[in-house]
Chains A and B, each alone.
Chain A
Amino acid sequence: MYNYTDFDTAFIKERNAQFRSQVERRIDGSLTEDEFKPLRLMNGLYLQLHAYMLRVAIPYGTLNSRQMHVLADIADKWDKGYGHFTTRQNIQYNWPELRDVPDMLDALGEVQMHAIQTSGNTIRNVTADHFAGAAADEIADPRPVAELIRQWSTDHPEFQFLPRKFKVAVTGSQNDRAVTKAHDIGLRMVERDGATGFEVIVGGGLGRTPMIGKVLRDFLPREDLLPYLEAIVSVYNLLGRRDNKYKARIKITVHENGLEDFGARVEERFALIRPQFGGVDQQMLAGIESDFAAPEFRSAATQDYEDARQHYPAFRSWADTNLSEHRAPGYAIVTISLKAHGATPGDATSAQMRLMADLAKRYGHDELRISHEQNVILPHVHKNDLPSIYSALRAAGLGTANIGLISDIIACPGMDYCALATARSIPIAQEIATRFDELKIEHDVGPLKIKISGCINACGHHHVGHIGILGLDRAGVESYQITLGGDGTENAAIGERAGPGFSADDIIPAIERLVMAYLDLRSEPAETFLDTYRRLGLAPFKAALYPEARANAA
């Protein structure tokens, strides 16, 4: 893991002291809300529907047990005993009081964490594959690069007032678990002639105008990364629309100017600024890489694991669903589900956070990850430790065996918390998970990603859900629109709108009809929902969703 330098520590301290003074001046009336709002947003503090919300960065989703313990302590001391992990690998506290926030930031600073650039029209928290450094399919660990980008972008004077927010994701694997094609810039580490470089994808994004990113460079040498990124963001800063916030993201800039023209401008800018990067960035990267050295994996038999699989069906079910292939023999990647049936997706109590931290410390080389799918990962676990881990997780309500299944739903906070939302997301996710748990067909259905957003901004990634649900306000009533066939992987696709929306009461039965139709339509149990959809198209699913339309047409 990256460790703060003296410069980093001093920077965070100074920044927190500034914000403390700004909060004091807001409270004593020296600052108006108009003056204060941009200052609080620069420090991750929003005012939401019922309360303030503090969004804390977890860069590239990586943290250690001490940091997780402090997140739990903050939840207990200044919030309501829980935190919400988001689709941007952040954690959000939903109930802080204004005068406490400087203390919360100081507590974060003590463990090398902060809330800088988790809001505003700037380069946001850099996200990465949550299996980074552990995945069997990895070309290289993307986190040192993500950390370099974080350092480069933090308080970068040119990029504090971009036309709109700007999101960068990095993956080091061919299997894209970071949704790189739905980011302003997506970076895929690739190899060519034995050298590692990047495929640079630009102009992806969801929101009201969803677009899949386009390849700007199919191979960018490692040493060119920062100047090339700087060239992209500079060109966007110049060309990006500031007259209309809905057309301000880089996806619109690329779309309106064309990839070729945009790329030519980037290359021109890149040629100009490349000489200014004299290699210091590469020296820094080399230093950062040493911080991310792999732990020493032990070589041991996995008999305890095999025995547990054989004798305990519940453990086997969990292991089959929640484990992923590790690059070291005898090891596994554990995904801890924050999606217990009926629970709020992404929420963890302080007790659960402490347990996960302790498990990471004891069994997981002191590493945890947050996934964009709102789960927590123990990236390095020896298989013989899995029975003990499962037992502890299960006792804490964290043993749900549903990763990648229908109840492993991404859901934004929706109108239960978010000031921008137009409908609720959380109760819909809770009801779907509960319903399919009652039906006991979740494992039969197999891999199926449902993603729910409470407004058109698409924080719940509904456009790339196999089944996407978008909550809207239709004449003062919550209405839910379904999209089908979305995909957030390397084969990224935007889902197709199925038809008119459903009321809150009708959406759960509609999803049930959809899934039952899939079970009837699939060619064999191994054919996934997405495969079936791609084979047959929208029509049979639409017929299941809107049986009355078929009856009327008859």
Chain B
Amino acid sequence: MPRAFTPKVVTANALLEGDVIYQTVSGWSRNLEEAEVLTDEADADLRLIDASQQQELVVGVYLADVDISGAAPKPTHFREDFRARGPSNYAHGKQEVKAHV
């Protein structure tokens, strides 16, 4: 029996800065909270293809699992948690950006 499709977001790194980014309904965001959550496998495949074609903007596109039990999507694996949060030794990643918002 095929495995049930679990909710996902399209993620990548920004070409110019290398930042972790997420595909939104209308573009890309640095915040996972703003990502478009994909619950249908066919939709996810299409969005992945669309994102992969945006080579002028992004690098290394893939689908990442998210937990949608709360108000905003959250990572289900620690690697994605670190990508969404930034490194743990300095506030030099997303922590720094969020501190200046």
Chain A residues proximal to chain B, CB less than 8 Å: 26-27, 29, 32-33, 47-52, 80, 94-99, 344, 415-417, 424, 426-427, 430, 473, 476-478
Contact = CB atoms under 8 A, between A and B. Distances in A.
Contacts of A50: 18-20, 83, 86-87, 93-94
Given A416-B87, A476-B77, A95 B16 contact: no
A426 B19 contact: no
B89 A80 contact: no
B16 A99 contact: yes
Nearest to A94: B92
B18 to A, nearest CB: 4
B82 A426 contact: no
B89 A427 contact: yes
B59 A80 contact: no
A33 B83 contact: no
A427 B89 CA distance: 7
Contacts of A424: 82, 88
Contacts of A80: 90, 92
B25 interface: no
A264 B46 CA distance: 56
B16 A27 contact: yes
Nearest to A344: B89
Given A33-B59, A476-B77, A476-B78, A47 B88 contact: no
Interface residues of B, number: 25
A426 B89 CA distance: 7
Contacts of B20: 49-50
B55 interface: yes
A473 to B, nearest CB: 8
B29 interface: no
Nearest to B56: A29
Contacts of A430: 89
B55 A29 contact: yes
A33 B18 CA distance: 13
Contact of A476 (B17, B76, B82): B76
B89 A51 contact: no
B3 interface: no
A40 to B, nearest CB: 10
Most chain A CB within 10 A, of B18, B20, B86, is at: B18
A49 B16 CA distance: 14
Interface string B32-62: 0000000000000000000000011001100
Nearest to B93: A50
21 contacts: A27-B16, A33-B55, A33-B60, A47-B59, A49-B82, A50-B87, A50-B94, A51-B13, A51-B19, A95-B18, A96-B18, A98-B17, A415-B78, A415-B82, A416-B87, A416-B88, A416-B89, A417-B87, A424-B82, A427-B89, A430-B89
B72 interface: no
Contacts of A416: 82, 87-89
A98 B17 CA distance: 6
A49 B88 contact: no
Contacts of A95: 18, 92
Given A32-B55, A49-B83, A50-B83, A98 B18 contact: yes
B88 A51 contact: no
A470 B90 CA distance: 22
A47 B56 CA distance: 15
Contact of B88 (A426, A473, A476): A426
A44 to B, nearest CB: 14
B85 to A, nearest CB: 10
A434 to B, nearest CB: 13
Please name the 5 residue pairs, one residue from A and one from B, whose CB atoms are nearest each other, closest first: A51-B18, A416-B87, A52-B18, A50-B93, A344-B89
Contacts of B78: 415, 473, 476-478
A415 B77 CA distance: 12
Contact of B15 (A27, A48, A49, A417): A27
A523 B93 CA distance: 48
Contacts of B88: 416, 424, 426-427
Contacts of A426: 87-89
A48 B18 contact: yes
Contacts of B93: 50-51
Contacts of B17: 51, 97-98
A94 B88 CA distance: 14
A476 B75 CA distance: 11
A477 B79 CA distance: 9
B82 A98 contact: no
Contacts of B89: 344, 416, 426-427, 430
Contacts of A476: 76-78
A338 to B, nearest CB: 13
Given A476-B76, A476-B77, A98 B87 contact: no
A344 B91 CA distance: 13
Contacts of B90: 80, 344
A415 B79 contact: yes
Interface string B17-31: 111100000000000
A52 B18 CA distance: 5
Contacts of A97: 16-18
Nearest to A419: B60
A178 B39 CA distance: 53
A416 B18 CA distance: 15
Nearest to A416: B87
Nearest to A476: B77
